[in-house]
Chain A
Amino acid sequence: MKKSGMTFLLIIIVLIFCVPWYMGIIKMRLMTEVLYYGLFAVSLGLVTGYGGKVSFGHAAYFGIGAYTTALALLHIQNMGVISALILSGLVAGILGAFFSIFLVRVSGTYYAMLTMAFGQLVYGVALKWRSVTRGDDGLGGFALPPIDIPFLGSIELIKTSNLYWFTMAVVGLLYLVVWHITRTSLGVSIILLRENEDRAKFIGHNTSSTRFMLFTISSVLAGVSGGLFALFQGFVSTGSLDIVKSLDCVIMLMIGGMNHLLGPLAGSLFIVFVGDWLSHLTHAWEFYIGIVFIAMMLFFRGGLVSIIQGLVNNLKAIRVRNVRIQEQVKS
């Protein structure tokens, strides 16, 4: 990576880390949302941005993760927060792997429709299996146990800043994992799916296996982000896995930009903060988000990230031109 890119990334990391010191409680809570929705959007970004496959049912894995964490904290004694999140990733991953068996057989529109159908299937189960999920009343009332770290004492997650840092650590860790994967041969194979799946087969790639792994990894990530959502909200209902949630994720990804790993984070930052600001001004705030979405699709396919990249490139070009002019003036 170039030096300027590194500096840019470092500034972002420091800014994210220091949030509790320069933001109030309300903003800090919004930032927590930005982080776990960012992870959710990354999970979709892997499938859509890197693998070129559109999923309209990603909330299923997010929601399963949320329910798993809630149920684990409610019913299992001595359940820790970290174990609950791992369980969320595991359950969502198993579900995603199971659906993948069918998803690897279809492409294009049929793939998108099948992901949506599976999403609705999971929603239906969550809605009707009242004895476990309490239907649309939702699950609440689970306590957040403190995290015990040997020799250091325990961290109370009730405190907003602690929950923020905990979310940041989990999301940051998984972001690193995703960043790492995009640089391995698995990442290369995933990009081949997007670029030309048919040709990939003819150079020896078992594209079904790649798709299976891609979707399973993505569901694990979505599951963990759902678990974080449950911890933060303290309440889980069918709203966490309905189609609106799936589409929210698509919108975040598309507004942020799906061809860059920071795109999903930028998208969730935009949706959460601009959404919050707009909703104070007007009841029709979703209408305006919709307009932004349409404008992005028409004029800035690369999303916010590409806009920022474009600005940076323009600044660089201007600087290069100025230097050249100065040299000409001197000579």
Chain B
Amino acid sequence: MSVVLEARNIKHSFSGLHVLMGVNLSVERGERHAILGPNGAGKTTLFNLITGGFKPSSGEIFFEKMNVTKKSIHERAREGLVRSFQITNIFPKLTAFETLRASLLSRRNVRLNFLRHVNRMSAVKEEVESLLERLGLQDQRDVPAGELAYGQQRALEVGLALALSPKVLLLDEPTAGMTKDETEKMVELIIRATQNITLVIIEHDMNVVFMLADRISVLHFGRVLICGTQQEVRSNPSVQEAYLGEEIES
């Protein structure tokens, strides 16, 4: 297997507060990689650094063997490095249909075209409809995203990323704040939708992690404590001490 995404010795600090202190992470093509860690471990910060939201204080990020450390957010998204957000981050006044269409147009490199009417692009329309169906949102097609139920907004959030046909999809707590029912549906959706996509996922829910992930990296106080299979991670004493133990007992 080949490495598709690699973070080398990433350090980052916010006005003197060291959040990441030399993180190394390598993600292999086609795997489902979970990042675990207590609150404040720097998981979301790592996502932001990988996708260009922040520039790291030091260290480098490689995507498809290319150094993307200095590339902007939209350049990385166009290359296929796409993330979703833990706190739902959508376009509240656009309908579900318009939201996904915005993403699909971007994937087709139709962003600043001022000649063709978007309503007349029937191929785009069909693709949006089928994506809506995959997300279970076909009945909410014309509802403004801001008025959708929370679970539906989460689905749209993930759909916005999926619509770009990413090479590597980074999901930041896709089941955050969901009921058990909604969580199950979301996990099902993620498994179905990411058949051929490399997945990196931040998740607090252990059940979800163990259902989804092939490999797990545990982030603790700005460092990767261990990276390995479920068995390896579960049986690692320092992980149990740091994080897992209490979580499983509760």
Contacts and interface: CB of A to CB of B under 8 A. Distances in A.
Interface string B45-59: 000000101000000
A216 B82 CA distance: 30
B243 to A, nearest CB: 28
Given A184-B115, A185-B112, A189-B111, A201 B89 contact: no
A233 to B, nearest CB: 32
A187 B91 CA distance: 15
Given A183-B119, A191-B94, A202 B77 contact: yes
Contacts of B73: 201-202
Interface in B145-203: 160-161, 163-164
Interface residues of B, number: 37
Interface in B91-113: 91-94, 98, 101-103, 105-107, 110-113
A205 B106 contact: yes
A210 interface: yes
Q: Is the interface of A mostly helix, strand, loop or mixed?
A: helix
Given A184-B116, A185-B111, A185-B116, A204 B77 contact: yes
A203 interface: yes
Contact of A188 (B74, B92, B102, B164): B102
Contacts, number: 94
Contacts of A180: 114, 117
B90 interface: yes
A206 B114 contact: no
B93 A204 contact: no
B32 interface: no
B78 interface: yes
A202 B163 CA distance: 12
A204 B78 contact: yes
B153 to A, nearest CB: 13
**A188, A191, A198, A200: which has the most chain B beta carbons within 10 Å?**
A188
Interface string A192-209: 100110111111111101
A189 B94 CA distance: 12
Nearest to B120: A183
A204 B82 CA distance: 9
Contacts of B164: 203-204
B89 A206 contact: no
Contacts of A16: none
A186 interface: yes
A207 B103 CA distance: 14
Nearest to A194: B93
A206 B73 CA distance: 8
A46 to B, nearest CB: 12
12 contacts: A185-B113, A185-B116, A186-B113, A189-B112, A196-B91, A201-B73, A201-B74, A202-B74, A202-B89, A203-B106, A209-B112, A213-B112
Interface of B: 51, 53, 72-74, 77-78, 82-83, 85, 89-94, 98, 101-103, 105-107, 110-119, 160-161, 163-164
Given A188-B101, A204-B74, 18 more contacts: A180-B114, A183-B118, A184-B116, A185-B114, A188-B98, A189-B111, A199-B85, A199-B89, A199-B90, A200-B102, A202-B51, A202-B73, A202-B74, A204-B103, A204-B107, A206-B74, A207-B74, A210-B111
Q: Which 6 A-B pairs have the closest CB atoms?
A: A195-B91, A204-B77, A201-B73, A204-B106, A186-B114, A185-B110
